[in-house]
Amino acid sequence: MLLENLATNETIDSARFMGNRCYLTTSIARKDPFFVIDISNPGAPKVLGYLKIPGFTRYLHPYDDEHIIGVGVNEDNKVKISIFDVTNVNNPIELEQYVAEGKWTYTTVLEDHKAFLFSKEKELLAMPIYISDQIKGLTWQGIYVLKITSSYELYLKGRITHSEKDPWDSSYHVKRALYIENVLYALSERQISIFTTLQTCH
């Protein structure tokens, strides 16, 4: 059986299957319905609840059984990281959000989920961010390192860049972050920088 008439004239942006549920986001005119779908009976999927928020969500990642991390763009063309609470499947809510400020911001996570780094145990979330303005174009590139707490709070610990002199030189763009034990590594084509995850990054 097909799940029909879910969202008329909209585009599916992301999906995440977890147990007997599917979490789905779609968008049109930068309004993003976030759907909670029961798939316990594959022959008869059922929408349990949904949430409409401005912007769109392009990547969904599980935090725990009742909370989902979403990466997308808000109505002002800025990268937004959301935490969706699906404890009440009939009434999902956006519990927390963090916005990467700038005239225009972008992350490669929107097209490449491997650029997304997350550790619940270390309360760590990191991803590449690009910041531009209307006059100079690209003004900053690097990774944002955020803390995501057990109480579902999001805040910026610091930023790491390899492009201090020239943001336009893509060979210095930080494309990946990884950790080994308590050490955080930021990698571009020309440089590797190393931090302890407990330090503030600059």
Residue 88 and residue 117 in one domain: no
Whether residues 153 and 170 fall in one domain: yes
Which one, of 123, 119, 185, 200, lies nearest residue 154 by Cα? 123
What value does the mean pLDDT take over residues 58-66? 95
- The answer on 139 and 83 residing in a single domain is no
Q: Would the pLDDT of 198 be above 90? A: no
Residue with token string 């590449």:
128
Name, in order, each residue with C-beta under 8 angstroms of 135's C-beta and a sequence gap of 6 or more.
none
Confidence at residue 6, expressed as pLDDT on a 0 to 100 scale: 73
In a shared domain, residues 84 and 168: no
What integer pLDDT is reported at residue 11 of this predicted model? 79
Residue range of the domain that includes 125: 106-202
Residue 178 has pLDDT above 80, yes or no: yes
pLDDT the model gives residue 201: 54
What is the number of other CB atoms lying within 10 angstroms of the CB of residue 178?
11
Same domain? 115 vs 92: no
Whether 118 and 42 map to the same domain: the answer is no
Q: Quick one: 72 and 152 in the same domain? A: no
Q: Which of 52, 78, 99 is the last residue of a domain?
A: 99
Whether 82 and 113 map to the same domain: the answer is no
- At residue 134 the predicted structure's pLDDT band, cuts being 50, 70 and 90, is confident
Q: Which of 99, 114, 141 lies at the terminal end of a domain, its last residue?
A: 99
Q: Which tokens is 59 given?
A: 């990547």
- Percent of the chain whose pLDDT exceeds 90: 75
pTM listed for this prediction: 0.91
Average pLDDT (78-92) is: 96
Inform me whether the pLDDT recorded for 2 exceeds 80. Answer: no
Q: Are residues 9 and 80 in the same domain?
A: yes
Number of residues in the chain: 202
- The answer to whether 35 touches 47, Cβ cutoff 8 Å, is yes
Would you place residue 202 in the very low, low, confident or very high pLDDT band (cuts 50, 70, 90)? very low
Domain stop point among 58, 82, 99: 99
Same domain, 20 and 50: yes
Question: What is the number of domains present in the chain?
Answer: 2
Residues 115 and 24 in one domain: no
pLDDT level of residue 53 (50, 70, 90 thresholds): confident
Both 91 and 110 in a single domain? Answer: no
